[in-house]
């Protein structure tokens, strides 16, 4: 491991000129760098403010669409590095996007506004190409990772505090311009996905990158981070089972890869806190939500595994809806193209409950209902490709003894899993607060996997190179400190 506490890039790749990047004017680099800052700010906005941030803009053109259009403009003029087209993820994404577009065309011609709104779940995938192109163009994979490492402690403090603030003062908080949506509109499941990503980041020790700290400061940082995870799990976990499950599974997967990591330091204190909460039994009733209490938390956990638990009504409602979708696609007239992207599925399928939701609380079945069996197969192939690519990257990094780099890919895999869990139980991928961060994560995965591929190509090209220089590969390597 490097003792310098900094990221390094592959010196063997001749400043990345060997990957086919064409020389571009300095103005292009400055423009792309500015756009990367804007894109990063927008993703952080969704992470911290969730659904409230999604309404920033000028209806019907909101911040997510504005940044997407700007990114596509830069992509069209050739400002990005397109080496990512070699990635198997890109090929799977191309097929997925193409089929969804094909099945959406009739809906776009019939009812363009509703079709565009429903199509966000797949056209936001363009963010993956934009993020990958930006990072590879600037050769700056370490920038978003360093930025994320800096905000992790602040986010883990903010998540439970922001939820309490939004719950208690939702009726008096200021609203977004041109809308009646409060600035803080935090969905419990959405927040828990990012808590899961941050928790794995801490469990793998990646939060210790910046800046160098003394042991006492690092101990305090660990306490703050794990305290935020525990508070979020208790406060927000009582409101959403899918988000709570996302945290459990993400941390569990990280422990499979790293059974001796820092997560063990969290288990004993967490057990003590849980026992204390059960004895004290604090209770809080947020506006429009379930009771926050140890009893409610236990009921949520139990309901995941017990079909007779008290929260099973919503589960049964969803299962009936999902079963109907399977019936009219796999065994019905909508096998090939689904019902399209201008249909309110809640109304069309007979499961309307009075809320404005149009989707079946499961992204996978939403693709099945709207793009047919080929659409959901293309979606599952894409997700399977992402998973396989990450597992291969982890294996390669481990074989090269790049433990820090391997930890980064483990973190990406666990974060990706947290997204998958939440979108399987909630309307998440369908909105910008879920879709844009998810597809941006996919773009980061594409960029990092391609940088690792270039690293391996450089090693093959320069087999006699100095080994100490070669180990600091194109994909960033996490630093020492037991990572």
Average pLDDT over all residues of the chain = 81
In the block, residue with structure tokens 């259009």 = 69
What whole-number distance in Å separates Cα of residue 121 and Cα of residue 424?
A: 13
Q: Predicted confidence band at 58 (pLDDT cuts at 50, 70, 90)?
A: confident
Closest CA to 445 of 404, 467, 416: 416
Output the DSSP codes for 188-220. Answer: HHHHHHHHHHHHHHHHTTGGG-SS---HHHHHH
Q: Is residue 304 part of a domain?
A: no
| DSSP SS3 for 101 | helix
DSSP alpha helices (H): ranges in 400-476? 403-423, 432-461, 467-470
Lowest mean pLDDT among 50-64, 241-255, 281-295, 427-441: 281-295
What digits encode the pLDDT tens for the residues 222-250? 888 888 888 888 777 677 778 888 988 99
Q: Is residue 238 part of a domain?
A: no
Number of residues assigned to the chain: 483
Q: Is residue 277 part of a domain?
A: no
Reported pTM: 0.86
Lowest mean pLDDT among 208-212, 366-370, 372-376: 208-212
**Residue 326 CB burial class (10 angstroms; 0-12, 13-18, ≥19):** middle
The pLDDT of 75-91, averaged and rounded, is: 90
Q: Is residue 282 part of a domain?
A: no
Report long-range pairs for 332-335 (Cβ below 8 Å, ≥24 apart). Answer: 334/369, 334/372, 335/372, 335/373
Report whether 450 contacts 475 (CB < 8 A).
no
Lowest mean pLDDT among 49-53, 309-313, 385-389: 309-313
Q: Predicted confidence band at 194 (pLDDT cuts at 50, 70, 90)?
A: very high
Q: Count CB atoms within 10 A of the CB of residue 416.
A: 20
The pLDDT of 45-56, averaged and rounded, is: 93
Q: Count CB atoms within 10 A of the CB of residue 3.
A: 8
Judged against a pLDDT cut of 80, whether residue 10 lies above it is answered with: no
Residue 173 CB partners (closer than 8 Å, separation 6+): 165, 166, 182, 183, 184
What whole-number distance in Å separates Cα of residue 87 and Cα of residue 238?
A: 40
Q: What is the model's pLDDT at position 274?
A: 61
Lowest mean pLDDT among 174-188, 307-321, 461-475: 461-475
What digits encode the pLDDT tens for the residues 392-429? 999 999 998 888 899 999 999 999 999 999 999 889 99
Judged against a pLDDT cut of 50, whether residue 87 lies above it is answered with: yes
What digits encode the pLDDT tens for the residues 254-272? 988 988 766 666 666 666 6
Instruction: Return the bridge partners of 284, or none.
Output: 292
Closest CA to 152 of 85, 198, 185, 203: 198
Run of H or E residues at 216: helix 215-235
Domain range spanning residue 457? 11-211+243-271+320-470
The pLDDT of 176-200, averaged and rounded, is: 89
CA distances from 425 to 352, 408, 428, 436, 455 (A): 17, 27, 9, 18, 38
Q: Is residue 459 part of a domain?
A: yes
Helix pair 432-461, 88-110: axis angle to 10 deg: 150
What digits encode the pLDDT tens for the residues 294-313? 555 555 555 554 444 445 56
Q: How many structural domains compose the chain? A: 1
What whole-number distance in Å separates Cα of residue 108 and Cα of residue 103?
A: 9
Judged against a pLDDT cut of 60, whether residue 343 lies above it is answered with: yes
Q: What are phi and psi for residue 288, nearest 5 degrees?
A: 75, 15
Report whether 270 contacts 278 (CB < 8 A).
no
Which string of b and e fits 204-237 if b means at least 16 CB within 10 Å?
Answer: bbbbbbeeeeeeeeeeebbebbbbbbbbbbbbbb
Q: Count CB atoms within 10 A of the CB of residue 341.
A: 27
Q: What is the model's pLDDT at position 390?
A: 98
Who wins on pLDDT, 29 or 41?
41
Q: How far is CA 313 from the centre of its chain?
A: 28
Instruction: Return the bridge partners of 62, or none.
Output: 57
Q: What is the model's pLDDT at position 66?
A: 95
Q: What is the chain's Cα-based Rg?
A: 23
Q: Is residue 236 part of a domain?
A: no
Report whether 116 contacts 342 (CB < 8 A).
no
Instruction: Return the bridge partners of 50, or none.
Output: 185
Q: How far is CA 305 from the centre of its chain?
A: 25
Q: Is residue 256 part of a domain?
A: yes
What whole-number distance in Å separates Cα of residue 127 and Cα of residue 5?
A: 31
Q: What is the model's pLDDT at position 316?
A: 82
Tokens representing residue 378 in the block: 């293309």
Who wins on pLDDT, 285 or 379?
379
Q: Is residue 249 part of a domain?
A: yes
């Amino acid at each position: 491991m490097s003792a310098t506490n900094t990221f390094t890039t592959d010196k063997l790749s001749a400043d990345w000129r060997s990957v086919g990047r064409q020389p571009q004017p300095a103005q292009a680099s400055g423009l792309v760098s500015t756009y990367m800052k804007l894109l990063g700010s927008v993703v952080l906005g969704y992470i911290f403010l969730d659904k409230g941030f999604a309404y920033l803009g000028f209806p019907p053109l909101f911040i997510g669409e504005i940044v997407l259009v700007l990114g596509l403009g830069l992509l069209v003029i050739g400002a990005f590095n397109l080496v990512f087209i070699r990635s198997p993820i890109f090929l799977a994404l191309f097929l997925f996007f193409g089929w969804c577009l094909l099945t959406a065309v009739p809906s776009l011609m019939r009812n363009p506004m509703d079709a565009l709104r429903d199509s966000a779940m797949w056209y936001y995938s363009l963010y993956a190409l934009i993020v990958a192109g930006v990072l590879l163009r600037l050769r700056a994979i370490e920038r978003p990772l360093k930025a994320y490492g800096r905000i992790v402690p602040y986010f883990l403090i903010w998540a439970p505090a922001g939820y309490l603030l939004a719950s208690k003062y939702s009726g008096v908080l200021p609203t977004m311009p041109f809308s009646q949506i409060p600035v803080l509109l935090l969905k419990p499941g959405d927040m828990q996905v990012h808590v899961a990503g941050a928790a794995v980041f801490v469990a793998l020790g990646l939060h210790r990158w910046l800046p160098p700290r003394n042991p006492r400061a690092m101990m305090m940082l660990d306490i703050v981070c794990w305290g935020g995870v525990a508070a979020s799990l208790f406060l927000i976990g009582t409101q959403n089972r899918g988000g709570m499950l996302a945290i459990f599974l993400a941390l569990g997967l990280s422990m499979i890869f790293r059974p001796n990591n820092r997560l063990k330091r969290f288990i004993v204190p967490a057990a003590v806190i849980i026992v204390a909460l059960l004895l004290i039994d604090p209770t809080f009733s947020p506006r429009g939500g379930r009771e926050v209490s140890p009893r409610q938390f236990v009921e949520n956990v139990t309901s995941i595994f017990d079909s007779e638990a008290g929260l099973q009504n919503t589960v049964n409602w969803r299962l009936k809806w999902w079963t109907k979708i399977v019936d009219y696609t796999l065994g019905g007239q909508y096998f090939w193209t689904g019902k399209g992207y201008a249909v309110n599925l809640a109304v069309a399928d007979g499961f309307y409950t009075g809320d404005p939701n149009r989707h079946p609380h499961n992204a996978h079945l939403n693709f099945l209902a709207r793009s047919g069996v080929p659409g959901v197969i293309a979606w599952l192939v894409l997700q399977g490709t992402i998973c396989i690519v990450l597992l291969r990257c982890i294996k390669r990094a481990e074989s090269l003894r790049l433990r820090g780099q391997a930890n980064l890919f483990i973190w990406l895999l666990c974060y990706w899993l947290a997204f998958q869990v939440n979108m399987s139980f909630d309307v998440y991928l369908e909105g910008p607060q879920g879709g844009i961060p998810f597809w941006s994560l996919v773009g980061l995965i594409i960029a990092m996997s391609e940088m690792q591929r270039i690293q391996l190509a450089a090693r093959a090209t320069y087999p006699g190179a100095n080994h100490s220089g070669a180990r600091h590969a194109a994909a960033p390597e996490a630093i020492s400190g037991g990572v």
